[in-house]
Amino acid sequence: MYTGETVAAGVGRGHRVSVIAWIVLGLIAGALAKMLMPGRDPGGILGTILIGIGGAIVGGFIWNAFTGNDSYGDFDIGGILIAVLGAIILLWGYRALVANRAH
């Protein structure tokens, strides 16, 4: 039976995080990343959420690669900061890709 929960993909912890929690974390991380890197990005709130969720996954991989552990939490300050850092990296990459296509 589907309970609305999914395993936190990409962070290797196996803890269960609800889909709504990933959306909320994505919205927070994406909004903070866009606030720290202002500019015109398409997608509105959905794009912000997807950037934040992708940022959480990217940040989790980077954290694990540099530290060798996954000791950060999902909704604690460490998890949010790692998600924001990953979202900033995604935004930077997206903007670099779009800038190269424009020229």
> How high is the pLDDT of residue 17?
59
Domain of 24 in residue numbering reads as: 5-102
For residue range 36-56, what is the model confidence (pLDDT) as tens digits? 888 777 678 888 888 888 888
Closest CA to 27 of 53, 49, 7: 49
* C-alpha distances in Å from residue 25, one per residue of 9, 15, 33, 43, 100: 14, 15, 12, 17, 30
Cβ–Cβ under 8 Å, residues 59 and 90: no
- Tally of structural domains, the chain: 1
pLDDT in tens, 10-32: 444 445 557 787 788 888 888 89
More confident call, 74 vs 33? 33
What percent of the chain is helix, strand and coil (3-state, nearest 5)?
A: 65, 5, 30
Q: Give the predicted TM-score (pTM) of the model.
A: 0.71
Give the model confidence (pLDDT) of 67-90 as tens digits. 887 666 666 787 888 889 999 999
The rounded distance, in Å, linking the Cα atoms of 24 and 18 is 10
